A = this chain, B = another copy of it.
Amino acid sequence: MMMKVVLLCVLAATLAFTIGILLGHFAIDKGSSVPDWVRDASRDVDEKIIKTFLDQLDTNQLRENLRELTKVPHMATTAGDEGTVQFLLKRWQDPNTGLDNAWREDYKVYLSFPNKSNPNKVSVVNPENAVLFAAREREKPYKPEQEDPDVAINAAKFGIVGLLVYTDPYEMNDGLVSESDTYPHSWYLPPTGVERGSYSIDFGDLLTPYLAAKDDTYRIPKEDITGIPPIPTQPIGFEDAERLICELDGDNAPDDWQGSLNCTYKLGGPGFKASSSFNNSNVHLDTFNTESLVNSANVMGVIRGSVEPDRYVIYGNHRDSWVHGAIDPSSGTAVMLEITRVLGKMVKEGKWRPRRSIIFGSWGAEEFGLIGSAEYTEEYFSKLSERTVAYINVDISVFANATLRASASPAAHGVLFTASKQVDAPGTTLSVYDNWLKYSNRTSPNYGIIPNVGFLTGAGSDYAAFMHYLGITSMDISYYYDRTKTKARIYPAYHTAYDTFDYASTYIDPGFTSHQAVARTAGNVLLRLADSLLLPFNCTDYAESLQRYLSEAVTTFESKLAAKGISMESLKKAVKLFSDTANKLDSLIRDSDLANETPLMVRQINDQLMLLDRAFLDPLAFPEQYGFRHVIWASRSSSVPTFPGLADAVEKAEGTGLKEDWDQAHKHLSIVTQAIAGAAHTLDNVI
């Protein structure tokens, strides 16, 4: 009995001991338990959140956004533009679907406008001063939108004095010229459609290069303005152009100058034909444009990052149009607003907050030379340089509804592929990625056949200041043409009074499914950049692009340089070094368990990736070209797809044969070599 009691007692004690251990271990919170931020800091992008986000992007919302944005013409700094500013602010400050914060930033910029009460005139005037012909001052109205009093034809800015430009139906209408073949009967440009535009090759406000255009900022004298044509330029429709061109005398123009107007194009040396009623008459161009300092606003909105608020993913699009601008730029603004609606709602409902901060920018005065985005980068240069992970540009979101098109820094090609694989291509059973592959592809030594992503070598939209001036990894995304179906240079209503909601919803994207595909692809890229633990940038893809450029440079220029005693060996070594260090960093990433690494180690790698494009900046490399500092992607005159400074300098030297020009070629070779080697050092072991 006693034994039993003792046994029971030992059993009870053992049980109590065990329970005690279990309670002690699991039930009592250790004072030194893992802080919450350890988990937060290592959290990766959530695929469920991505799916939820993609599902909520809605074609009806996109349509209504576009309708609202295109009610009136909203050329930069006009009342219509201010209306869109207010609309954007209202949306981004909405308590249920808005962002954490939204505000406007104003700049005082120098623009040239037509005079509404005294429009520019193109006329044919005979020796007795009788007007034999006058070009239209407005496009022919087919819909109420064209009757808006703000449908003025804006001449290309500044110095308008001698050039008439028109859009030939050959390059825009697949040759069609008659009214019955064009809008509103098809997507083609009506005979009276006038393509407006700016001819500036610089970007940013013309009077304040490198300085944000504030009230009392120093402004250069107007006569020192660079980057615009020295003679006046006035756009006209092809109906008016036909009247002038088909009356011209002289030798036949070259074959590749011939277009689809109903005559043989002549050079017009002696003037109009003797048989023409215009014979002995002159063409008069009277311009009454006025230049003024006007207020242009950017609208900014942010979602604060939870873990790394000091890292920015910027998504932007301009807001100003030439006329109603349904496609350019409102198709992009409609997409941006739909993305912010869904993200804003998730934030307001407490369902999500990004790891990094997201900044949305609705830029002003893009059509006059990328002004809003350029002023923004000038004003916040340091902050943006230090902290910006990437810039996503969606300007015209839908040119046409066939396929995705993207241009980007090579670092971002991978994330474009990942995102586009998760989105359905409208009108197909394929993903956006697989559909894209059908329309445009190339063979990569690393991956085989992949979609062809362009490089951002020019200044075609607001990515310019981010990519070229700040060296921020940028990308430009849209939906695009089936090139087998049209030769149109761009959608035919581009920059005319026919680029309206009616045009866009009838001919470009009736179901708004292409808008949705772009919203999903760009939005997916945005979320991945904002939420991924490891930035989805690939430095070995960058190495591949440098190798392509090197290979072109060697093929085209090596023997020419060698003949002048200039060796390309150091450049080859630099590219090799870049590839080697990129591979090394890639291996480090592959071999690391980043979710269990210290957040500072992850940040270190992310900083290497974030700053990779920055390492290619050289503010003195292209002293003649405003804002172009990225020695790999700067704009280039040469047709050889390679390092721009080198290509242009060698071609110039070949032309002149001058020692000093070959010296410049050597200098550009050294500049690009040092930039690539310097970038390679940033990818190497940090110490």
Contacts and interface: CB of A to CB of B under 8 A. Distances in A.
A130 interface: no
Interface stretch (A196-204, A214-222, A280-288): A214-222
A315 B295 CA distance: 49
Contacts of A380: 678, 681
Contact of A5 (B2, B20, B208, B212): B2
A231 interface: no
A563 interface: no
A382 B14 contact: no
A304 interface: yes
Interface stretch (A147-155, A305-313, A416-424): A305-313
Interface in A647-687: 663, 666-667, 669-671, 674, 677-679, 681-682, 686-687
B687 A598 contact: no
A304 B5 contact: no
- The SS class assigned to the A binding surface is helix
A30 interface: yes
A22 B217 CA distance: 70
Contacts of A603: 600, 603
A686 B387 contact: yes
Interface stretch (A35-43, A331-339, A400-408): A35-43
A467 to B, nearest CB: 17
Interface stretch (A319-327, A425-433, A614-622): A614-622
B567 A218 contact: no
A320 to B, nearest CB: 24
Interface string A273-302: 000000000000000000000000000001
A253 interface: no
Contacts of A14: 16
Nearest to A211: B670
A679 to B, nearest CB: 6
Nearest to A617: B382
A305 B685 CA distance: 12
A607 B15 CA distance: 55
A190 to B, nearest CB: 46
A5 B9 contact: yes
A35 B601 CA distance: 14
A375 B19 CA distance: 69
A68 B472 CA distance: 50
A575 B609 CA distance: 34
Nearest to A8: B9
A567 to B, nearest CB: 5
A486 B412 CA distance: 64
Contacts of A569: 216
A18 interface: yes
Contacts of A16: 13-14, 16-17, 20
Tell me which of A220, A359, A382 has the highest count of chain B C-beta atoms within 10 A of its own C-beta.
A382
Q: Assembly of this chain: how many copies?
A: 2
Interface in A556-585: 566-567, 569-570
A272 B371 CA distance: 68
A604 B15 CA distance: 51
A587 interface: no
Contact of A9 (B9, B220, B607): B9
Contacts of A211: 670-671, 674
B32 A34 contact: yes
Given A5-B9, A598-B599, A679 B382 contact: yes
A33 interface: yes
A170 interface: no
A307 B41 CA distance: 16
B12 A20 contact: no
A561 to B, nearest CB: 11
Contact of A682 (B8, B220, B382, B670): B382
Contacts of A681: 380, 382-383
A383 B216 contact: no
Interface string A33-73: 11101101100000000000000000000000000000000
A381 interface: yes
A357 interface: yes
Contact of A13 (B12, B21, B217, B611): B12
A250 to B, nearest CB: 46
A682 B33 contact: no
Contacts of A40: 598
B24 A22 contact: yes
Interface string A259-280: 0000000000000000000000
A30 B25 CA distance: 7
Contact of A17 (B19, B666, B674): B19
A254 to B, nearest CB: 40
Contact of A24 (B20, B216, B599, B667): B20
Tell me which of A10, A32, A678, A681 has the highest count of chain B C-beta atoms within 10 A of its own C-beta.
A678
Given A20-B24, A41-B598, A214-B570, 7 more contacts: A12-B12, A212-B674, A217-B570, A218-B666, A310-B687, A387-B686, A599-B600
17 contacts: A5-B5, A20-B21, A21-B21, A33-B33, A35-B596, A35-B598, A211-B674, A217-B674, A310-B604, A310-B607, A357-B686, A359-B687, A381-B678, A382-B678, A382-B681, A382-B682, A383-B681
